[in-house]
Every structure is written in C-alpha cells, then in structure tokens.
C-alpha cells in the first residue's frame, strides 16, 4: 500500500505522484486548489488529480461551515517552470528584433533617399507607414515626422485607407511583427511566426479555447 501527502510547495509532478498513491493525505485547501487548477488545464494529461473512491474528512463541520466562508483565490509566485520557458524563448525574441530592426533601417534608408530626391509620393508614404507599423518609436522616424508638417496626417490617412480596403496586410508582409500602439499589442506576421517557430510550426499558435473547454467537459475525469 502506498501513501502520498500533498503539501503547499509541491510541483505538479510530485502532486500527481502523491494522488496516484493508494491513500493521499492533504488539507481541504490543497485539494480544492488542485481541483480548480486541474479545471484550468488545456489537457487532461496535465491534471494532477485522479478519480478517488472515497474521502475521510476530519472536522467536516469546520470545513463546510467556517472555512467555507473564505474564498479560494488562486495566486502566488510564478512557478519556476514558466521562468525556464521564457528564458528559453528569449534568444528567439532577440533574433526577431534584430531582423525587424534591420528591415526597418533598410525601409527608412529608402524613404529618406526618396525624400531627398523630392519624391513625396504614395510610395514614400507607404514606406513610412511600414516603419510606423513595425517600429513606431524609432527615433529616426520620429525626427522625420517632426521635421515635415502634415506628414503624420498623410501616413495616418493612408493607413486608414488601406485598412478600409483590406489591403493593409500586404504592406505588413515584409515585417516580422506589427506593433499596435492604440491597444498596446504586438502581432507576429507570417514571416515572424515562421522565424520564431522553426521546427515547431504550432509553437506560437494560440490554441482554440472553445475547443479546449469542450474537450475538458467531455473528459470523464472532469
């Protein structure tokens, strides 16, 4: 007969091993939190709890009445596993930024060369719009905007026009990521996603949350 104990600082692997024992000891908080966390997992294989035959509860009146008034809040320090994941992805992000910076410099050089030649046409505006969408805080770009009155309005107007025509994505294809200042977000282009994913094409694809919830609902363990 095997016996497991659930304590506060255990990782998922140790918790799963404890739950797989014939008898598992623990507090109601630990069992409750593990249940809540398991219901937030994308895959049933990641769950730590298993089907239990029965439970023996000590001082059940205290648990069901007194402690039931205190809500369970899932919070605490970030697990080390997440730190390791982010650290492993950092070189890829640095690589992507280097590629993006290189392209932005090239586009800016082209735009400035056209402006020196007096070519203040749609092509020049589109080049500057590319810079705005890929590096809106670029110092060279901001200097150009500051020195040319009315230029920012033309760039914004072109962006609105291309968005309404649903052709803005064609301008973004050369970049690796798009920075949206209004909603403070960054989105990978297909080019950037390919660079980040490498041999794992689905590594940076956001999972279908609805499908994941349906799989959890259909899982007999949940």
Does 34 lie in the same domain as 86?
A: no
Does 184 lie in the same domain as 94?
A: yes
Does 114 lie in the same domain as 13?
A: no
How confident is the model over 135-157, as pLDDT tens digits?
999 999 999 999 988 999 999 99
How confident is the model over 63-106, as pLDDT tens digits?
666 666 656 565 555 555 556 767 877 888 899 999 999 999 99
pTM greater than 0.85: no
Domain-terminating residue out of 11, 43, 76: 76
Does 100 lie in the same domain as 14?
A: no
Contacts of 75 (CB under 8 A, 6+ apart): none
Domain-terminating residue out of 76, 91, 109: 76
Does 85 lie in the same domain as 67?
A: no
- Tell me how far apart the alpha carbons of residues 46 and 148 are, in angstroms, rounded to a whole number: 56
How many domains, in total, are found in the chain? 2
* pLDDT for residue 33: 85
Domain that holds residue 118: 80-209
- Tell me how far apart the alpha carbons of residues 111 and 129 are, in angstroms, rounded to a whole number: 10
- Tokens 């060369």 sit at which residue? 113
> Is residue 214 included in any domain, yes or no?
no
Does 87 lie in the same domain as 45?
A: no
b/e code 8-41 from CB counts within 10 Å (16+ = b): eebebeebbebbeeeebebebebbebbeebbeeb
Does 189 lie in the same domain as 92?
A: yes
- Tell me how far apart the alpha carbons of residues 70 and 31 are, in angstroms, rounded to a whole number: 15
Q: In the chain, pLDDT over 70 holds for what percent of residues? A: 85
Does 84 lie in the same domain as 68?
A: no
How confident is the model over 179-200, as pLDDT tens digits?
988 888 888 898 988 888 876 6
Does 136 lie in the same domain as 105?
A: yes
* Residues 87, 91, 95: CA angle, nearest 5 degrees: 155
DSSP, collapsed to helix, strand or coil, labels residue 198 as: coil
Domain-terminating residue out of 28, 56, 76: 76
């Amino acid at each position: 007969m095997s016996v497991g104990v659930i304590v506060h600082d255990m990782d998922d692997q140790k918790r799963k091993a404890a739950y797989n024992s014939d008898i598992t000891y623990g507090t109601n908080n630990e069992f409750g939190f593990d249940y809540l966390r398991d219901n937030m997992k994308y895959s049933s294989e990641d769950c730590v709890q298993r089907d239990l035959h029965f439970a023996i509860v000590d001082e059940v009146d205290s648990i069901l009445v007194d402690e039931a008034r205190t809500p369970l809040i899932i919070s605490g320090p970030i697990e080390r596993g997440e730190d390791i994941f982010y650290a492993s992805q950092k070189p890829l992000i640095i690589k992507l930024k280097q590629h993006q910076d290189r392209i932005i410099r090239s586009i800016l050089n082209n735009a400035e060369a056209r402006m020196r030649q007096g070519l203040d046409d749609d092509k020049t505006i589109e080049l500057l719009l590319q810079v705005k969408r890929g590096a809106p805080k670029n110092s060279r770009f901001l200097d150009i905007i500051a020195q040319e009155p009315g230029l920012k309005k033309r760039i914004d107007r072109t962006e609105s026009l291309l968005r309404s025509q649903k052709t803005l994505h064609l301008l973004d294809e050369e970049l690796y990521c798009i920075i949206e200042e209004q909603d403070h977000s960054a989105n990978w282009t297909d080019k950037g996603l390919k660079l980040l994913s490498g041999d794992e094409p689905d590594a940076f694809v956001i999972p279908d949350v609805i499908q994941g919830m349906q799989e959890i609902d259909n899982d007999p363990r949940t």
